[in-house]
Chains A and B, each alone.
Chain A
Amino acid sequence: MPTISSGISIALQAVLTHSQVLEITEHNVANASTPGYRRQAAILTTDTPTSINGADHGIGAGQRGSGVTIDRIQRFNLAYFDGRFRSVSAEAKNWETQSGILSQLEATLAETSDEGLLNKLDQFWGTWQSLSNDPTNTSLRTVLLDDANTVALALNRRSSQIIQLRSDQNNAISGSVEEINSLASQIAQLNGEIARVNSVGEQPNDLMDKRDLALDRLAEITGAVSSEQKNGEVLVSVGGHALVVGRDTFQLETRTSTTDSSVLDVYWEDNQKLNLLSGELKGTLEVRDRVLVDQMNGLNTFAAQLASQVNAIHRTGYGINNATNLDFFTGTDAASIAVNPNLDALSIATSSAANQAGNNTVALQILDLKNFKGMSGNTATLNEYYNAQVTGLAVLTKRAADNSYQHGLVVHALGNQRESVAGVSLDEEAANMAKAQKAYQAAARVLTAYDELLNVVINQMGLVGR
């Protein structure tokens, strides 16, 4: 049977509910630009109705509604978008990192400018040519030593720059490992809290936002994938190895590489080596262990061949002081190549026999090396080999930049899709606010009506005959 007090209770419930809806709208508006925030909405539902037996009381039939209540606070999120977004952003970050390191290398090598190695090598050949024109010219000989030194130093510099660039990545790697470990701990802790909140039937919306933000970042670094369990916890794995299970984490650590003591490798605490498929860290390791190593090997082959080809001919010749059987270059790779310290200007061999000052046969033979196809299985000259090396690097750099740009576009598009579902639209919130406000006002008016009813009952009833 309806009572005034149950009517007041319905009205009060409505006032409280709509004020909470307003609060949720306020929360949305306040977090309109908070990273990782998913908009929330109150799902309103009717409260449990009470049964009345209409026939008994003669006032109609059916169940009587008992007002409005908030069923739950919905968090707008699509797990599917999260998974797609993370896998693409991991790939984008992988290429972005590669592109960054490679552009750095390209800029320091500056092969297309006057500082390029090829320029210096051409200068070296050019001076040999001049010397072949004028083998008795001592100043040309000094210039040649100088040019040869420039080539050797350019090779040394490139070698040390690549080594430097490789060890520079150590900072990036240990930084990433620290960040992964801290994100993993954060996720494990949030897992605990989320499971607890879920278990009491509440919605840990803001905690899930925080966890998703951490998962986004973790995916950017490592390409980590996650799956949600029934109790709300997520399982995170990186390259097939578990990183977070419930409230536990597996930590990563950096160790000095077994093959190269100047660089760091990443291992799990159970001694397995970290195996990555995408992400920033993958990009860093990929460039360091593959591209830079290839460049280094190419540079070493180039230096070794330059030295051995020139030396082989130079040893057969005679200097103007009849010195013979001298190496022109010493060293066997890009780091160690240098002009033979025992070679002075007069000892540079130009002649094929002793005591023949004008004999330039050996100088011409060395000059011919410029056109000698002794590289890449006798298909390329030294110049062509290095040209191919530079072009190869340029193609890799361009590919990394292109891929980074294209994946970036996809990340942007997927981000927009996700934002489309989860983002806060201020217009929408304004409308919701107006709706809640009106409902609140209406409920408050109902309360006033009941107030007047009570006034009638209490102050005006039973005054007959007074």
Chain B
Amino acid sequence: MRVTNRMMAENAIQNLADNMEKVNNLQNKLALNKNFLVASDDPTRASASMSLRSNLKALDSYSEAADLAQNWMTATDSAFDRLEQLAVRANDLILRGLTDTLTGDDRAETLGAEMQSIAKEAVEIGNTSVNGQYIFSGYQVNQKAFSLGDSPTTLSDYQGNPFTPMVVNYLGDQGNIQRSIGPDQSVTLNVRGDQAVFGFLQNLILATNALTQNNVRDTGDPLTDPLTLESIKTSMKASLDTLDQYRTSNGAHMRQVDSAANFLESIKIETKSLLSSNEDINIAEGIALLSNQQTTYNAVLEVSQRAMSALSLFDYLR
């Protein structure tokens, strides 16, 4: 092939430009620690990166949801714990009230008074809130679950004096709040106060009334018998079972959230490592490539310089 001076010069320029571009690309990739700078550098990887990033974001949201659910459920569990402690004490008081050697005064002034304070405390616990949200109210999270008030009707105490018994109302609703803690995975967050706690609170009030009235033993009268301390002992037992049952179910939900959270964490780590292997440059390899490219570039510079400044025949003719 006939080679002209212009061809040599233009080829040299082209080679320099090509090599310069490669060095520049490697430099940018290394500086940003990315295999691709824009999607068109590697559409497949870029697409994978975008969906992995999306997934990671979703996993973060799910993790956050799981954390919050754990807080709520832990608060529910500790409320149950405190309620059960109160229940033990209430049971104690009922058993002592059933001791025949006690007088009506003992029952009303000592046991009855303590039972009343237990009932008040239990209602307080029933109104536990997390982040300003009442956990036993169903959907009515802005509303206390229980209210404690005075009954419109009066009863007479062991001395025949009238007294106003307390009355407890459930102010929440029948909402079961769902939490999404994974794709297509949701868990019931709340325990409804009307199902789990309400019976216990009512029994505490009934026990208070029975102690105050000194109404101890069943007499065989089906109308008044349910209000005696003796039958309340039985129904208290039932409401304790209910408390226990809902506490267990809350515990099961907690374990579910726990394992979901652990799963989310491990998936997150996996996704992050996938993302990193997908888009982060292998630095050792990148630097090796760069220094190789620089060597090539130096060689091209050297060769170009010789080619372009080569002597021509004009230098030798005289």
- A358 B61 Cβ-Cβ under 8 A: no
Cβ 8 A contact of A430, one of B62, B137, B314: B314
A103 to B37, CA, bound (A): 12
A135 to B68, CA, bound (A): 13
Interfacial chain B residues near A312, Cβ < 8 Å: none
Q: Which of B172-188 contact A (CB under 8 A)?
A: 173, 175, 177-180, 183-184, 186
Q: How far is the CB of A358 from chain B (nearest CB, A)?
A: 3
A146 to B142, CA, bound (A): 25
- A118 B54 Cβ-Cβ under 8 A: yes
Interface assignment of A264: CB less than 8 Å from any CB of chain B: no
- A358 B133 Cβ-Cβ under 8 A: yes
Q: A364-B180, A426-B313 are in contact. Are A106 and B53 (CB under 8 A)?
A: no
Interface locus among B1-9, B225-233, B236-244: B1-9
- A112 B61 Cβ-Cβ under 8 A: no
Interfacial chain A residues near B312, Cβ < 8 Å: 426-427, 430
- B317 A358 Cβ-Cβ under 8 A: no
Interface assignment of A259: CB less than 8 Å from any CB of chain B: no
A111 to B54, CA, bound (A): 12
Interfacial chain A residues near B4, Cβ < 8 Å: 32, 419-420, 423-426
Interface assignment of A17: CB less than 8 Å from any CB of chain B: no
Interface assignment of B12: CB less than 8 Å from any CB of chain A: no
- B68 A136 Cβ-Cβ under 8 A: no
Interface range, A side: 35 or more
- B139 A391 Cβ-Cβ under 8 A: no
A415 to B9, CA, bound (A): 13
Interfacial chain B residues near A360, Cβ < 8 Å: 177-178
- A106 B39 Cβ-Cβ under 8 A: yes
Interfacial chain B residues near A161, Cβ < 8 Å: none
Write the chain A residue with the least CB distance to B134: A358
- B61 A126 Cβ-Cβ under 8 A: yes
Q: How far is the CB of B5 from chain A (nearest CB, A)?
A: 5
Interface secondary structure of A, over-half rule = helix
Q: A107-B38, A134-B131 are in contact. Are A370 and B58 (CB under 8 A)?
A: yes
Interfacial chain A residues near B184, Cβ < 8 Å: 371
Interfacial chain A residues near B313, Cβ < 8 Å: 426-427, 430-431
Interface assignment of A305: CB less than 8 Å from any CB of chain B: no
Interface assignment of A394: CB less than 8 Å from any CB of chain B: yes
- A394 B142 Cβ-Cβ under 8 A: no
Interface assignment of B65: CB less than 8 Å from any CB of chain A: yes
A288 to B38, CA, bound (A): 21
A116 to B68, CA, bound (A): 29
Q: Which of A242-273 contact B (CB under 8 A)?
A: none
Q: How far is the CB of A266 from chain B (nearest CB, A)?
A: 28
Q: Which of A356-399 contact B (CB under 8 A)?
A: 356-361, 364, 367-368, 370-371, 383-384, 387-388, 390-391, 393-395, 397-398
Cβ 8 A contact of A356, one of B38, B39, B58, B175: B175
- A119 B53 Cβ-Cβ under 8 A: yes
Q: How far is the CB of B54 from chain A (nearest CB, A)?
A: 5
Q: How far is the CB of B61 from chain A (nearest CB, A)?
A: 4
Interface assignment of B221: CB less than 8 Å from any CB of chain A: no
With an 8 Å Cβ cutoff, the count of chain B residues facing the other chain is 57
- B6 A419 Cβ-Cβ under 8 A: yes
- A394 B39 Cβ-Cβ under 8 A: yes
A361 to B3, CA, bound (A): 78
Q: How far is the CB of A320 from chain B (nearest CB, A)?
A: 9
A111 to B46, CA, bound (A): 9
Interface assignment of B43: CB less than 8 Å from any CB of chain A: yes
- A358 B140 Cβ-Cβ under 8 A: yes
Q: How far is the CB of B117 from chain A (nearest CB, A)?
A: 30
Best-buried of B139, B142, B190 by chain A (most CB within 10 Å): B139
- A356 B40 Cβ-Cβ under 8 A: no
* Contact indicator per residue, chain A 134-168, by CB within 8 Å of chain B (1) or not (0): 11100000000000000000000000000000000
Write the chain B residue with the least CB distance to A360: B177
Interface assignment of A436: CB less than 8 Å from any CB of chain B: no
Write the chain B residue with the least CB distance to A412: B14
- A32 B6 Cβ-Cβ under 8 A: yes
A382 to B50, CA, bound (A): 13
Cβ 8 A contact of B133, one of A126, A136, A421: A136
Interfacial chain B residues near A136, Cβ < 8 Å: 132-133, 141-142
- A361 B7 Cβ-Cβ under 8 A: no
Interface assignment of B96: CB less than 8 Å from any CB of chain A: no
Interfacial chain A residues near B64, Cβ < 8 Å: 129-130, 133
- B139 A126 Cβ-Cβ under 8 A: no
Q: A122-B58, A420-B7 are in contact. Are A359 and B177 (CB under 8 A)?
A: yes
Cβ 8 A contact of B39, one of A112, A130, A364, A434: A112
Q: A356-B173, A424-B4 are in contact. Are A397 and B40 (CB under 8 A)?
A: yes
Q: Which of A310-366 contact B (CB under 8 A)?
A: 351, 353, 355-361, 364
* Contact indicator per residue, chain B 154-173, by CB within 8 Å of chain A (1) or not (0): 00000000000000000001
Interfacial chain B residues near A107, Cβ < 8 Å: 38
Interface assignment of A125: CB less than 8 Å from any CB of chain B: yes
Interfacial chain A residues near B69, Cβ < 8 Å: 133
- A356 B6 Cβ-Cβ under 8 A: no
A126 to B46, CA, bound (A): 22
Cβ 8 A contact of A401, one of B40, B51, B177, B180: B40
Interfacial chain B residues near A419, Cβ < 8 Å: 4, 6-7, 10
Q: List 15 A-B contacts (CB under 8 A).
A: A112-B36, A123-B57, A129-B61, A132-B180, A134-B133, A357-B140, A364-B178, A419-B7, A420-B2, A420-B4, A421-B2, A423-B5, A425-B4, A430-B314, A434-B317
Known pairs A358-B137, A383-B54 / 10 extra A-B pairs, C-beta < 8 Å: A103-B40, A106-B39, A118-B54, A119-B53, A119-B57, A357-B141, A384-B51, A391-B39, A394-B47, A434-B317
Lowest 10 CB-CB distances: which A-B pairs, in order?
A358-B141, A394-B39, A423-B4, A397-B40, A430-B313, A356-B139, A394-B43, A122-B57, A129-B61, A391-B47
